Amino acid sequence: SSPLVAEAGAQAQAPERVNELGIQMLSTALHRQVFPNADPSRKPSIDQVRLSSRLLSRADLLHKLQAPLEDIHLDLPSLAGKTIEQHFLVLGLEQSRPYLDYAARFATEELPPTPTNWAKTPGWTKYTKLKQGGFATESVHTPEGDAMVFDVEVLWKLSKYPVIATAATSTHWYSWTSPDLLNLNAAECKETDSNRQYPEAIESINKDSSNDQGPFRTLIPMGGPAIDRVIIGHNISYDRSRVKEEYAIEPTRFAWLDTMSLHCAIGGLSSQQRPVWIKSKKYQEAGINSLLFDPVSDDDESAGLLYQQWLHVSAMNSLKELLEYYTGQILDKSTRDSFSSENPMEVLEDFDNLMTYCAKDVRATHEVFAKVFHRFLKKCPHPASFAGILHMGRGYLTVSEDWKAYIEKADAKASEYQQIIETTLVALAEDALKKENDPTRDEDPWLRNLDWTAPPVLMTKPKISKKGVVLQESRPAKRQRKLPGKPAWYRELWDSNAGRLRLSLSRRITPYLLKLQWRGYPLYYSKAYGWTFVVPLERKVEFGAQTPLEFSDNLEDKNYDKRASCDPDHVYYRIPHKDGDDLNVGSPLGKPFIASMEQGLLSSCVPSATSLLNMNASCSYWQGSRDRIRNQYVVWDDDCTLGIASAPDAKQSGVILPLTVVMGTITRRAVERTWMAASNAKKNRIGSELKMQIRAPKGYKIVGADVDSQELWISSLLGDRQFQMHGSTPLGFMTLQGLKVLGSDLHSSTGRILGISRDHAKVFNYSRIYGAGLRHATQLLLQYNPDMTREQAKQRAQSLYRETKGSSYSNLPPFNREFWYGGTESFMFNELERIAKSEFPRTPVLGCEIPDALRPETVKNDFMPSRINWAVQSSGVDYLHLLLVSMDYLMRRMGVNGRFMISIHDEVRFLVLEQHQYLAAYALQVANIWTRAVFASRVGIDDLPLNVAFFSAVDIDHCMRKEVDMACITPSNDVTEPKGESVNVYQLIDRLALTNLPQILGDELESVADIRDQLISNEAVSNNSESKSSESSLINAFYRSEVATSSPRWWLKVQMTTSKDDVNCIRKELLRRGYKGDECRVGMVV
């Protein structure tokens, strides 16, 4: 449904402005501010309006409009350019300065020679190359220079704090040594031998998981926070988290550039390509260079490749792989193992070698940077893309002392549940053991599958005299096998060290002890087919055309099974796997089967089974996340000056710098293993209140918002652009005007077609938009409806795709391309595939190009789902970068005291001084309308629907959570979290009623005004100075980029048709008129 709904302030009178389909647009005042120089020619023709109306009428959507909203009259800052597009060009350039030029120049410079002997002095040491040879050393507070490469090493088993580091500028090398390392008492650590562990450090770590100092507690200084400096590294967020100044609440002006991220954007690999690349690499190393693979289908990209050109234009992300790929050099990483030592004195003993190892990484990083940086600027030419990754690299999360209690409570609750589970299972095992001599045991369909063979008790030989008299009877021998006389299955569970049974839900015997059933039939484990269920032969008819499993009694066959192959009275079927019928289920007690248990498909003859499964599910999140959470690097205010006011309860304050890879995937999405993967708090998940642990310090608030239906709106906009109207296609109309309560939104529509819930339908919709095919949809249906046959699921999936994506038309002249027609989403899919199949696929707004490994030139027709997914998600990244660029500008212009915290895909959060909370909320709303507006402008529409212009709400909270009213009650947290505040744009206008916005906005920032004036006078379009060469190339690239235009009438009609005969008629008419392929493709390109 639409972000802003009528409850916000519905009005009885007609809205000020609507488009040709009746959809409410921006008010006149807002439109004038956002589109000050709207092009009158960029409006739909009468023919386009008529065709769109016919299309919407056929989908039963025409005139089904939401109640109009109260028109919004809000003063916005004036644009920093003549148009919204030029506005973002100015902001991007201003925020890229001076970092863009520093980095571009550094990428062309050589590093000085590397020292071979390193000063064993605390802190930073500067090395100056002498003419007569060798180096002069000088202790300095921080490195000097506006651009440098930086690398940190850590004794990770002892501490998360740094032990040594190196940095290099174009003129000097620098080394840093932890003062704590040099202050250690060498005699105490070496009194036995060099392999002795450092006991105090180990004891410290074991004693308190949140105290990760060990023997170290010093961070690395890098200079005053007001210094403009580019710091480059490979996975630079790791190194940034060891820098002292980054923990202060006042942000630095350092720009952190990550060579791994730059590579992902230009030469990264998709998840389907990585295993093929690794396999190819192994073959190459083994001397096998001729590889032939089968072509890749749309639904199975990992099957292999006929064309393998992409293997030679890409590489994995490690520094070692990238150095070899870009330069042919081999980086020796064997010394890295030295940093797993638990004796810090070994670093001093091998000091020069370890410093040189660190320096080699710095030099390798610079060589990679020199290769990737300018290629990145060509791939992503808009300065907002560069500025966006700088903002993304400055994440900052604040915690309180409650962080430690959170970990302790989650650990305690998980241990409690696991103890209950084990105790219950042990009792079931002991009960089963009692059946050892029970004659009915073999009639039990579960217990008969256990191995009941038991070794006899070993007896001593009796002592017999020469006369044959028994002097001593035979007795049990002192040395016995484990648990003599007990069955094999019982002995396998016995822990000799603990002297008791060890059982968990992950043990293969557990489903037998729990007497599990699938659809009322007992489970059976087969090595060939995993977990199956056993059906009496006479009940086989219940499973229709489903083919029973076949077993062999030949020991050498893969499907050998002694019991099943000799069972003529039953048939066996696989338990359905969520990823496909041909896959084996390794455990029916995993998370995917919780729903099956709730539906009654998976059941048990043991009353406690459901409770055990629920407990196990409650532990699953904590078990999977515990190590990552406990290993968070928290710097507390008693170890570093954070600049955070003390809380009234004297609790500690701490800061976590998230280890964000700002472009960690081929779509340029950011990746972070803990916070970006954190689930929302759930009542039945231990530790799921993780996000809530991020808390605003005293005097601050966390202000943020979620972009409503971001990627769905972007995708639908691409379809709408063909008519030059918002909401002109069924998908676009449902996205803008659909209402959940009326069932007229996309998710409700899909739910009706498939006969599933609206929530489940969301998964189908997004996976389809991301390029997933019929096979994926069929499997999802089977996952949500395990009792549905595969044929039924396939038919429903085909129906869904026929009504949404439409039907496919072959690659025939004069079209000369495959396309979709007749579906509610055909227009969108044709646009996405047009982008994916173009010679140089680029995002429509910021013009970022697809990585080399997915370019059509290198993959031909393979990896289409990945390429479509790239077009959608990479556009979503453009949205985020534009939003962050806007926020940086607005917060500086209004003097808002705050900083970026984190972005989780379509969600952004800022830490803001409490007195500025509503100004920050206003800045977010302005940033959103600007970002939506430039998306519309770039696809050729100089207008914006009112109900997507602003965030549905901006959250103002004291902690981080999905919704401000979430109680965050979990098994490990029984305290209800107080509510925060959520304000929509109407409420925000009321909050700001007494605020003099024009006065707060003041004059334009001088740095922005300078660039604006250059652009308006066209001085910056030409390469007018060497110092601005990098900026000029970006500006020229922007002006060369082409804005979308509408599609010709015949192309609209082709996509609207519902039958192949109609398409053929249009095709014949085009051929009769003499249309050629190139002429036809004119309407299919932007």
Contact criterion met (CB below 8 Å) for 1039 and 382: no
Pairing of strands 147-153, 229-233: parallel
Under a CB-based contact definition with an 8 Å cutoff, are residues 845 and 48 in contact? Answer: no
pLDDT value, residue 298: 47
pLDDT at 200 exceeding the cut of 60: no
**Of 584, 583, 578, nearest in space to 793 by CA:** 578
Question: Confidence band (pLDDT; 50, 70, 90) for 206?
Answer: very low
Q: What pLDDT, on the 0 to 100 scale, is given for residue 1079?
A: 47
What span, in angstroms and rounded, lies between the C-alpha atoms of 269 and 267?
A: 7
Q: Among this protein's residues, is 47 annotated catalytic? A: no
Residue 151 has pLDDT above 80, yes or no: yes
Cα-based torsion angle of the residue sequence 253, 256, 257, 261 in order, rounded to the nearest 10 degrees: -130
Token pair of 611, please? Answer: 């409770």
pLDDT band at 770 (very low <50, low <70, confident <90, very high): confident
pLDDT for residue 587: 92
**pLDDT tens figures, 259-299:** 999 999 999 999 999 999 998 888 877 775 544 444 444 44
Residue 288's pLDDT is what? 57
Among 15-29, 442-456, 834-848, the minimum mean pLDDT is found in: 442-456
Residue 636 tokens read as 């507390």
pLDDT of residue 1044: 57
Extended beta strands in 835-906, E state? 898-903
Q: How confident is the model at residue 817 (pLDDT cuts 50, 70, 90)?
A: confident
Say which residue, 527 or 193, is predicted with more confidence: 527
Asked whether residue 974 carries a pLDDT value surpassing 50, the answer given is yes
Peptide bond into 945 cis (omega under 30): no
Q: Average pLDDT over the chain, rounded to whole? A: 88
Do residues 572 and 564 touch, judged by C-beta distance below 8 A? yes
The predicted structure's pLDDT at residue 195: 47
Residue 360: pLDDT over 50: yes
pLDDT for 1026: 46
> How far is Cα 106 from Cα 828, in angstroms, rounded to an integer?
42
Count of alpha carbons within 13 angstroms of residue 124, beta-carbon side: 19
Rg (CA), the chain: 33
Residue 544 region by backbone torsions, left for phi larger than 0, else alpha for psi between -120 and 50, else beta: left
CATH topology for 110-268+336-380?
Nucleotidyltransferase; domain 5 (3.30.420)
Output the CA angle 120-126-131, nearest 5 degrees: 110
Q: Can you say how many angstroms the Cα of residue 715 is from the centroid of all Cα atoms in its chain?
A: 19
Beta carbons within 8 Å of 404's beta carbon, 6+ residues apart: 208, 210
Smallest CA-to-CA distance from 79 within 71, 91, 70 is with: 91
Nearest CA to 663 out of 999, 258, 962, 974 is that of 258
Burial of 920 (0-12, 13-18, 19+ CB in 10 A): buried
Is residue 597 pLDDT above 70, yes or no?
yes
Mean pLDDT of 329-344: 93
Cα 424–429–434 angle (5° rounding)?
A: 125
Confidence of residue 97 (pLDDT cuts 50, 70, 90): very high
Of 196-205, 515-524, 625-634, 890-899, the least confident: 196-205
Give pLDDT, residue 439.
Answer: 87
pLDDT at 77 over 60: yes
pLDDT of residue 594: 78
Q: Which helix (H) or strand (E) holds 604?
A: strand 602-604
Closest CA relative to residue 335, chosen from 358, 319, 317: 358
Q: Average of pLDDT values for 625-639?
A: 94
Per-residue pLDDT band at 650 (split at 50, 70, 90) = low
Give the span between the Cα atoms of 866 and 880, in whole angstroms: 20
User: What is the pairing mode between strands 254-258 and 634-636?
Assistant: unpaired
More confidently predicted of 1072 and 362? 362
Widest pairwise Cα distance in the chain = 125
Nearest residue to 390 via CA among 506, 230, 265: 230
Least-confidence region, from 663-667, 698-702, 785-789: 785-789
| Sign for the pseudo-dihedral over CA of 1033, 1039, 1040, 1044 | positive
**Domain locations in the chain as residue ranges:** 6-73+709-1002, 110-268+336-380, 408-454+481-615
Would you state the pLDDT for residue 476? 77
Where does the pLDDT of residue 6 fall: very low under 50, low under 70, confident under 90, or very high at 90 and above? Answer: very low
pLDDT average, residue stretch 349-355: 96
Burial label for 822, CB within 10 Å (0-12, 13-18, 19+), is buried
Q: Which position has the token pair 């003599």?
A: 484
Residues 548-563: pLDDT tens digits?
999 999 998 999 999 9
Q: Which strand (E) or helix (H) includes residue 87?
A: helix 84-96
Amino acid at 273: Q
pLDDT at 235 > cutoff 90: yes
Residues 6+ apart with CB under 8 A from 50: none
Q: What local confidence, expressed as pLDDT, does residue 1020 receive?
A: 46
In this prediction, residue 1045 has a pLDDT band, given cuts at 50, 70 and 90, of low
Judge contact between 168 and 370, C-beta under 8 A: no
Could you give phi then psi for residue 336, rounded to 5 degrees? -55, -30
Instruction: Write down the pLDDT at residue 447.
Output: 95
Using the 8-state DSSP alphabet, how is residue 193 labeled?
-
What pLDDT shows up at residue 905? 83
SS3 776: helix
| pLDDT reported for residue 757 | 87
Residue 1078 has pLDDT above 60, yes or no: no
Q: Kindly tell me the sign of the dihedral angle through the C-alpha atoms of 204, 210, 211, 214.
A: positive
**For residue 660, what are its two tokens?**
């964000």
What is the pLDDT, as a whole number, of residue 1032?
60
Of the candidates 71, 101, 146, 151, the residue annotated as catalytic is 151
In the beta sheet, which residues pair with residue 909?
Answer: 704, 902
Give the range among 314-328, 329-343, 368-382, 1031-1045 with minimum mean pLDDT: 1031-1045
More confident residue, 154 or 6: 154
**pLDDT exceeds 50 at position 936:** yes
Mean pLDDT of the 625-637 span: 95
Residues in the chain: 1086
- pTM comes to 0.91
Choice among 363-377, 718-732, 769-783 with the minimum mean pLDDT: 769-783
Residues 178-189, mean pLDDT to the nearest whole number: 74
- The type of residue at 993 is A
pLDDT of residue 649: 64
Report d(CA 770, CA 870) in Å as an integer. 8
Give the pLDDT score at 1074. Answer: 83
pLDDT value at residue 1034 = 57
Give mean pLDDT, residues 398-424: 96
Phi, psi of 311 (to 5 degrees): -60, -25
